[in-house]
Amino acid sequence: MSTADIPEGTVRNILEQDTLKWVFVGGKGGVGKTTCSSILSILLAQVRSSVLIISTDPAHNLSDVFQQRFTKTPTLVNGFSNLYAMEVDPNVENDDIGGNEGVDSLFSELSNAIPGIDEAMSFAEMLKLVQTMGYSCIVFDTAPTGHTLRLLQLPSTLEKGLQKVMSLKSKFGGLISQMTRLFGLDDEFGEEAILGRLESMKDVIEKVNKQFKDPDLTTFVCVCIPEFLSLYETERLVQELAKVEIDTHNVIINQVLYDEEDVESKLLKARMRMQKKYLDQFYMLYDDFNITKLPLLPQEVTGVESLKAFSRNFISPYQPSTSRGTVEDVERRISTLKLQLEDTEAELDRHRKGKQKV
């Protein structure tokens, strides 16, 4: 593949694809998914009329990254007029699902008998709510890989659950009807109410499932770091996404070490060599992907201003400072050394005063 054929190492392709409705961001735990999804939502808000970012990770971090409290209700992000955020629990909560108390109670029991059906119902309710709000683009800050894959397989889980209930109805439908009449319960507590609930959720999630499988409407952004386990997890994720027919053509490699100046640390040099080995493998495996590399920073990226500042690395490839021996480089290093010297002298002065008091 020639240099001209290599896809650009940015996320511009996502920003320029104005048909996108759903953007999933996922990967192994601890690789920076929330930071990346937050920055993607900020960039999308610059080119879209309204954007919603949803955290489906039980260990929510959106509030920490934006330094603002979010709940299960969409909240306007401070400093924006068209960017909203919400944190939802992927586990079903009876209080959040509309319906009468009897059906909720019976469904709660049913959900224990069908693994994954509670998540499917919760996910369907959330999507049903989101669809009525009219956001032009929804970004999902997902949980670590295993949970995310389960979330994307929920349509089939719900369908299996419905088939199981249907089989129960054919076997015990008469008995259930007799029991409801015996205890004086109305028809709203019968099996038809349960089937009605499942059918409505199935309709919603099937509609969304079709959208998820449409590359014009949906894409998945894989976030990783240049290490073996993350590479392995990313490959597993890409393979599973292909199985469920969800488009993915962007990989973000976070926490990359760049040799920007003379590095004397043996540890850093060893880490750079290790990272280079895995970076080469990423480029071999995903030669037709847009691979965005992000530098490892000495501080965390939190707060809107920090997110905006770091976002420039998403729309133009990060360029390390490789000039050595120039006047600017020498002046920068002298300035750094002066600051370090001042800090050391101040620390020494404090120690001397402490000894004099003793």
The catalytic residues are 57
| 213 belongs to an annotated ligand binding site | no
How far apart, in whole angstroms, are the C-alpha atoms of residue 238 and residue 216?
Answer: 18
How far apart, in whole angstroms, are the C-alpha atoms of residue 190 and residue 298?
Answer: 60
| 30 belongs to an annotated ligand binding site | yes
| 32 belongs to an annotated ligand binding site | yes
| 227 belongs to an annotated ligand binding site | yes
| 28 belongs to an annotated ligand binding site | yes
Q: Provide the terminal-to-terminal Cα distance of the chain, rounded to the nearest Å.
A: 71
The DSSP call for residue 296 is P
| 31 belongs to an annotated ligand binding site | yes
Strand partners, 81: none
How far apart, in whole angstroms, are the C-alpha atoms of residue 201 and residue 100?
Answer: 16
Count CB-CB contacts under 10 A for residue 281. 14
How many residues are there in the chain? Answer: 358
How far apart, in whole angstroms, are the C-alpha atoms of residue 117 and residue 121?
Answer: 6
Alpha helices in the chain (DSSP H): 12-16, 33-45, 62-66, 101-113, 117-131, 145-152, 154-182, 191-212, 228-243, 266-285, 304-310, 312-315, 327-357
φ, ψ at 222 (rounded to 5°) = -90, 125
| 72 belongs to an annotated ligand binding site | no
Nearest residue to 239 via CA among 179, 139, 152: 152
How far apart, in whole angstroms, are the C-alpha atoms of residue 163 and residue 158?
Answer: 9
Tell me which amino acid residue 183 is. F
Contacts of 296 (CB under 8 A, 6+ apart): 254, 255, 256, 257
- Cβ atoms of 322 and 38 closer than 8 Å: no
The pairing of beta strand 218-224 with beta strand 22-27:
parallel
Could you give the 3-state DSSP secondary structure of residue 254?
Answer: strand
| 254 belongs to an annotated ligand binding site | yes
Binding residue positions: 28-35, 227, 254
- Binding site residues for ATP, as ranges? 28-35, 227, 254
